[in-house]
Amino acid sequence: MSDAFVSEPLAATDANPINAMSVDVEEYFQVSAFESHVPFERWETIPGRVEAAMDRILAMFELAGVRATFFTLGWIAERHPGMLRRVVDAGHEIASHGMHHVRVINQDRATFAADIRRAKGMLEDVTGQRVRGYRAPSYSIGRTNLWALDELAEAGHVYSSSIFPGAHDAYGMAEAPRFAFRVQDSGILEIPVTTVEAGGKRFPCAGGGFFRLYPYALTRAALRRVNRRDGRAALFYFHPWELDPAQPRVPGVSLKTRFRHYLNLHRVEPRLARLLADFRWDRMDRVFPVEGAASTHRDVFDNPPYKTARAS
């Protein structure tokens, strides 16, 4: 991998661009914050809840005329093949979320390469659809493991959505471009989760816990700012378990984890219905030029710490 990214021009043609809707398909007990409380060995003993939530999501999308990208665990595909086929039959895109929701920062390069290949093969076998996209669990690709983008390209992925271009206590790469950029050597397109810029700082506005924390009006205003002021398509994401306020509570977790995971779960479904109506949405592979040609100008992303990280 060379020492610079190539920036991908994605300026909108009007003030109301089509945005990208995505869903990270995993069970409530598989989130990274529960790793030490619900080990992998216990997963098979816990009754699943993802399918009921997915049926509600598919019904909401159908009612709103929205098509989306579903980043799905290989573990889920093994156990819910019929559910994934319903997703494909409804016109949505299936992408990879890895095999077992292991953060990339907790894998070496060989383990990661094996994981993404196994997950990609599993999803393609189940759905009969080419899997082109990948999202790292907990946005766990950053300055220390950018080699993962090369591995994704070598495995046959053409785009990734794995970098949070801002500061966060659990992940993030504040020096990353805010919008989609193409890696110069491999050609893979990285589509960072959307942030809004205000006062010289970047703030998350594209889903997850922040969608539950912020008043809906603030999320709507931030996305409109991205569409109208930046002239860019936004990328939104959420999880099926966020539409499941009755999910069992995991014992022993910290107060911060309880706050982040369970906050305002009862508000997500009505807020999502408003979001689907207030903006235009489509699949990631149709919103972004995932297999298009890159431009030739370099992004200002060529600092020494970045070069050191990429050499690993």
Give the separation between CA 165 and CA 299, rounded to whole angstroms.
14
- The confidence band for 297, taking pLDDT boundaries of 50, 70 and 90, is very low
Give the separation between CA 30 and CA 268, rounded to whole angstroms.
19
Kindly tell me if the per-residue pLDDT of 281 is higher than 70.
Answer: yes
Percent of the chain with pLDDT over 70: 87
Domains by residue range for the chain, with CATH: 5-310 (3.20.20.370)
166 vs 131, 172, 174, 235, 278, CA distance in Å? 27, 5, 4, 15, 26
| pLDDT computed for residue 25 by the predictor | 98
Q: In this structure, how many other beta carbons lie within 10 angstroms of the beta carbon of residue 254? A: 10
| pLDDT computed for residue 292 by the predictor | 62
| pLDDT computed for residue 42 by the predictor | 95
Kindly tell me if the per-residue pLDDT of 105 is higher than 90.
Answer: yes
| pLDDT computed for residue 289 by the predictor | 87
| pLDDT computed for residue 100 by the predictor | 96
Under DSSP, the state recorded for 191 is: -
E-assigned strands of the chain?
5-7, 18-25, 69-72, 93-96, 133-134, 159-160, 181-183, 189-190, 195-198, 201-204, 235-238, 280-282
Closest by CA to 175, choosing from 126, 132, 153, 142, is 142
| pLDDT computed for residue 1 by the predictor | 35
Closest by CA to 51, choosing from 87, 15, 96, 8, is 87
171 vs 93, 104, 137, 298, CA distance in Å? 26, 11, 10, 25
Instruction: Return the amino acid letter for 177.
Output: P
Kindly tell me if the per-residue pLDDT of 234 is higher than 70.
Answer: yes
Query: Phi and psi at residue 30, in whole multiples of 5°?
Result: -100, 0
Q: How does the average pLDDT of the chain come out, rounded?
A: 88
Kindly tell me if the per-residue pLDDT of 120 is higher than 80.
Answer: yes
- The confidence band for 288, taking pLDDT boundaries of 50, 70 and 90, is very high
- The confidence band for 15, taking pLDDT boundaries of 50, 70 and 90, is low
> How many Cα atoms sit within 13 Å of 258 on the Cβ side?
8
Written as six digits, the tokens of 268 are: 């997500």
| pLDDT computed for residue 183 by the predictor | 86
Contact 74/96 with Cβ under 8 angstroms?
Answer: yes
> What's the rounded mean pLDDT across residues 285-312?
49
- The confidence band for 299, taking pLDDT boundaries of 50, 70 and 90, is very low
> What's the rounded mean pLDDT across residues 290-308?
40
Q: Say which residue, 187 or 243, is predicted with more confidence.
A: 243
Assign 3-class secondary structure to 46-59. Answer: CCCCHHHHHHHHHH
Q: What is the largest CA-CA distance in the chain?
A: 52
- The confidence band for 76, taking pLDDT boundaries of 50, 70 and 90, is very high
| pLDDT computed for residue 165 by the predictor | 93
pLDDT in tens, 147-192: 999 999 999 999 999 999 987 666 678 889 999 999 887 889 999 9
| pLDDT computed for residue 135 by the predictor | 98
Choice among 57-71, 83-97, 168-182, 239-253 with the minimum mean pLDDT: 168-182
Give the separation between CA 84 and CA 78, rounded to whole angstroms.
10
Give the separation between CA 265 and CA 85, rounded to whole angstroms.
27
Q: What is the Rg, in whole angstroms, of the alpha carbon atoms belonging to the chain?
A: 18
